[in-house]
Amino acid sequence: VIAIKDVICYKDHVVTAASAILKNFTSLYTATALQYLLDEDAIIIGRCNCDEFAMGSSNENSAYGAVKNAADETRVPGGSSGGSAVAVQANMCMLSLGTDTGGSVRQPADFCGIIGLKPGYGSISRYGLIAYASSFDQIGIFGKNTDDVRLLWEIMSQPDERDSTMHQRTRVKRNETVEKKKYKLATFSQAIQHKGLDKEIANTFITTINSLKANDFITDELALELFDYIVPAYYVLTTAEASSNLSRYDGIRYGYNAGEETDLEHFYCKNRSEGFGLEVKRRIMLGTFVLSTGYYDAYFAKAQQIRRLLVDKMEKIFDEYDAIIMPVSPSTAFKLGEKNDPVTTYLADIYTVLANLCGLSAIAIPLFSHSNNMPFGLQVMAKSGDEVTLLEISEMLMQQSITAEVA
């Protein structure tokens, strides 16, 4: 029994991207990843609210209202896939599909105390996924155990001729002796020492690293000099892509139509001003700015260069290490309405956007409970296409956590 985020197309069903500009729009076709699940007799129970066009980290930016965290209804569930996360958290379904452009599966999973998998870029077809930033977007999976999550990933990661960005890979079989293997893990000193990281989360993360070392795992702390450039580069590039992708919503062919046709420019302006929410308009304008004449080289080109340097750095790290471990978010789920400053909200993505910039596989696993009674976990990243290793390490970490609790 599976729920889907309201950005994944399902033929003859409404899909709105949680936006007034697509209110009551009915999809004409089914996303490939979803079709693969339907072919295996999956039951699609419904679609879930999200941040409008997947732009947000709290699920408060929706034309249909905010989603609330099932563990504490005064708090956010995370975003943008907050509805999909809460559906699993509250046992409304067994699994759900979200999308992850910069952490929109992993951060809600962390806030809701469940598993959230972002497969590597090109692992799952994006055909039928309403685009936010095409070189970042990836369909992801929410669940409560790694076997269920693995099953959905295996079903959905089949080839699709309609998505030219998909990698053609030979399937890797599961390592049945995962508990006997000692993985080589890395983390970043800038991630642990970041001033925005909650002290309790930081201490728990350090304790976890020490525990792994005590169990003969190689866990090295590395320096990532470009760490402070990750979030700015991400928002320059994603908003630029959003500006281009969302230009198709003009009210002429489909979507919201204000009904005032005095002239074409006024018609476009009226439709888009009334149809899009505040956060979407903010990102469209930012993206248009960084692509404009005189600013393209200063912002967009520089961000692409940083992205290339980060990709090269990650490739070198994965030549030596099996995975990278980091926190998922600087804090546990915050209060509804608490973060009104967009810059503060954007900076909260500091631990998740790296995987999207570099196309890595990444997962958030629920391991801990904060003194404020909210859950939080750990993020594991592996190279793109190595989801098997990612899931095996996650299972090992979760088993170790359970064993420690019992002891």
Question: Is 5 a known active-site residue?
Answer: yes
Question: Is 329 a known active-site residue?
Answer: no
Report the alpha-carbon distance of residue 387 to residue 391 in Å, rounded. Answer: 6
Among 58, 62, 80, 123, the one annotated catalytic = 80
Among 19, 57, 62, 104, the one annotated catalytic = 104
The secondary structure element, H or E, covering residue 378 is strand 375-382
Report the alpha-carbon distance of residue 23 to residue 123 in Å, rounded. Answer: 30
Report the alpha-carbon distance of residue 78 to residue 67 in Å, rounded. Answer: 9
Strand 95-99 and strand 44-48: the pairing is unpaired
Q: Integer distance in angstroms from the first to the last C-alpha of the chain?
A: 34
Report the alpha-carbon distance of residue 403 to residue 97 in Å, rounded. Answer: 29
384, 361 contact by CB (below 8 A): yes
- Provide the phi-psi class of 54: left if phi over 0, else alpha when psi is between -120 and 50, else beta: left
Question: Is 80 a known active-site residue?
Answer: yes
Cβ-Cβ contacts under 8 Å for 395 (sequence gap 6 or more): 146, 178
Report the alpha-carbon distance of residue 354 to residue 333 in Å, rounded. Answer: 21
Q: Catalytic positions, please? A: 5, 80, 104
